[in-house]
Amino acid sequence: MKDITMLKSELSRFQKQILGELRPYLVDTKSFLDAKEWFYDSPNIFVYNQNSKLYISSEDSGKDYISYLEKNNSFKYLPNNEIKILPHEEFEVDLKCDLLGDVSIWLMLVEYSSQEKIKVHTIPVNKKIKVRTSENTRKIRLALRVSGSGIGIIEDIRIERSKEQIMQPQVITKKGTKKETPKRISDIKMACILDEFSMTCFEQEVNLITFNKGNWQEILSENIPDVLFVESAWRGNYGTWENMIARYNNQDKSPLINLLNWCKQNSIPTVFWNKEDPIHFDRFIDTAKLFDYIYTTDANMIENYQKASGHKNVFSLPFSAEPNFHNPIKIQERRNEKICFAGSFYANRHEERKRDMENILDIAAKFGLDIFDRNYEKNAKGTTHFSFPERFNENIVGSLKYDEIDKAYKGYKFMLNVNSVKYSPTMFSRRVFEGLASGTPIISSYSEGVKKIFKDIVLISENQQELESNINKLMNDEGYYRQKSLEGIREVYLHHTYKHRIQYIFKNMGIDISLNPKKVTVMSIVKSKEEFFYILDQFKEQTWKEKELVVFVEIFDGYIDLLNEYNKDDQISTYVLSYMNEYSRLSEVIKNEYVAYLNPMNFYGENYLLDLMIATDYSPADIIGKSSIYSYDRKKKTTKELNKNKEYEYVSDLAMDASVMNMKVFSGENVFSILDRMRNSETTSSYFKKGFRLLSVDKYNFLKNGLNAESKAQNKLQK
């Protein structure tokens, strides 16, 4: 008996030792993306690295294999490079890969016992798949099956072990242990109780974990979150937490309290956000004070929460915009030349709001007004407390469903905002953030918060004559209108998206989450010192901070001085153009994800790069530029608009010297060929034909042939 007990103890010790050596991820991402770690013997396959990604080029319609870490493509051989695995181990596989052309790629995961091959798993890319190993499995090998002609670009690989099976200190398994800290927003696992709209937006940025009152412990034990985030939800998680978050009579909060206690035991921080402040402070204060961190839409309520909760971890958190939904990309050819209001009227409450609304609706009606009544169905049956005054009946055009709100945000030239809360420095409607992100200027009744956060971007005044004058200017002055539109987009995308709010929440917990701002390399080809310094000035004027400059110089007097002076730091580099025949690919010189070519003959306004790079947040397009542009006639000294009405829409062609381009579009191209086409201001239509997407944004901050144009012409396009 003693021998058996000792044997069991030894086996247990051995298993713990093996488990302790196991890492949460089966393979190292950096190693997996290293072309040198892959074996292939087919002449139709070429594997290489570019921008820290793994490129697989296939020129064969047949089927080929490439193997990771092994020096053969025969699965019958036992692997020489062990990837440790346990019997019945479960893990999730997620291989992120862009496919260009007709190529198909599958991940092959092969299980082996100590003596032979047991099983082969064929796993698709861009889809999370769970795999469970067999009883006799001791090791695995990985390979890729490639078929068809084209290019596969592997960006990331995650083969993550089940948390329950890993005894490693970075994962919470019991009180007192630590969890690996997320470094990027996309890494965050957020357990949540949210209403539908917030859930739809947050899930675009983080990995949401949802649950109900009955299964929360099972779900969270299997998938340990980084944080529990609960908002002032009325029907949280699709109704499964209804009547549990706000205060109600005869309420049993035990499921929520048990959830919070479990989070505390497992060192998971808990966050509550009251998006209904200050009006519904009393409805949610009992819940809010149970949490580690409290956020409120109204900064004026912070002191109240601190007193009620007994701690100082209370912060303001205004609303925000989600780029995937709130952006200026067209939904129709032309916007309706009217003012739009989408919301409710309250005849029996919020007297000040009621008065403000009637005043601003009266002004708007003079310019053309459409109202989308949130209570349209109720009011259609007869007059209710939510009925708009009778004089606005002709302006009411119906209601909008949840997925139709774009009609209000992007279907009209202007939006109205009316505030129930006027004197909060942070609380006002979501529609302000969302409308501005959509490129729609907003006319608002007075709000301290709107004025503080957006200053003069939003037209706001309690003086009716002044407000009417400003609306008239918006209606009739295109330059003024477009200035307000661009200012709104920039302000929201630089400071007020869901990513910014999430980063702020984690910052207050002492966790630094990177937003990974996208970097762009500005390129140019110059044939004189004058052109060099012109491009240098244009580059320095750009307000987008994440930028580098690479200038290719031809042979001219003084070019050596430029090489000596402008190769001293990482931000500015200079190359002799003819020397580029030493390189085969542009990626050998350009290390950033995006590139922009500046033509010395053009004028680029200070916000040229800013607006193009902001667009990379709301569009997956590979090339983003300007189809509608202004061109300068040097002889006549006149400016002409070309290709009108091609803004904020997907197109089939853009000029290379009026665009930012993702480096992946140049895959497989000779560097000299690319530079020649840039210097000749050729178009990007060939990339469209290859399947890349092209987005045209606004027409400002660029003047074709604008070198030495009159300052008046240049300034007119500076927005």
Supply the pLDDT for residue 6.
52
How far from each other are the two terminal CA atoms of the chain, in whole angstroms?
Answer: 85
Per residue in 333-362, pLDDT (tens digit) is 999 999 999 988 887 777 788 888 889 999
Can you tell me the distance from the alpha carbon of 24 to that of 135, in angstroms, rounded to the nearest whole number? Answer: 20
Can you tell me the distance from the alpha carbon of 112 to that of 535, in angstroms, rounded to the nearest whole number? Answer: 60
Supply the pLDDT for residue 174.
43
Domains and their CATH numbers in the chain: 10-165 (2.60.120), 185-316 (3.40.50), 336-496 (3.40.50.2000), 520-717 (3.90.550.10)
DSSP readout, 474-542?
A: HHH-HHHHHHHHHHHHHHHHHH-BHHHHHHHHHHTTT---B--PPPEEEEEEESSHHHHHHHHHHHHH-
Supply the pLDDT for residue 89.
78
Residues 6+ apart with CB under 8 A from 193: 229, 230, 231, 233, 236, 237, 241, 245
Alpha carbon 598 to its chain's center:
26
Amino acid at position 506, single letter: F
Tokens of 179: 């969890």
- Give the H/E segment covering residue 17: helix 2-21
69 phi and psi angles, rounded to 5 deg: 75, -25
Supply the pLDDT for residue 694.
97
Supply the pLDDT for residue 14.
45
Alpha carbon 122 to its chain's center:
31
Strand partners, 642: 629
The backbone region for 293, taken as left when phi is positive above 0, alpha when psi lies in -120 to 50, beta otherwise, is beta
Does a cis peptide bond (omega within 30 degrees of 0) precede residue 278? yes
Supply the pLDDT for residue 5.
46
8 A C-beta contact, residue 299 and residue 424: yes
8 A C-beta contact, residue 351 and residue 366: no
Give the number of residues written for the chain.
719
Q: Helix 351-365 vs helix 464-476: angle between axes, to the nearest 10 degrees? A: 40
Q: List, for the chain, all residue ranges whose pLDDT scores fall below the cut of 50.
A: 1-2, 4-5, 7-9, 11-21, 164-178
116 burial level (CB within 10 Å; 0-12, 13-18, 19+):
exposed
Can you tell me the distance from the alpha carbon of 104 to that of 124, in angstroms, rounded to the nearest whole number? Answer: 9
Supply the pLDDT for residue 90.
83
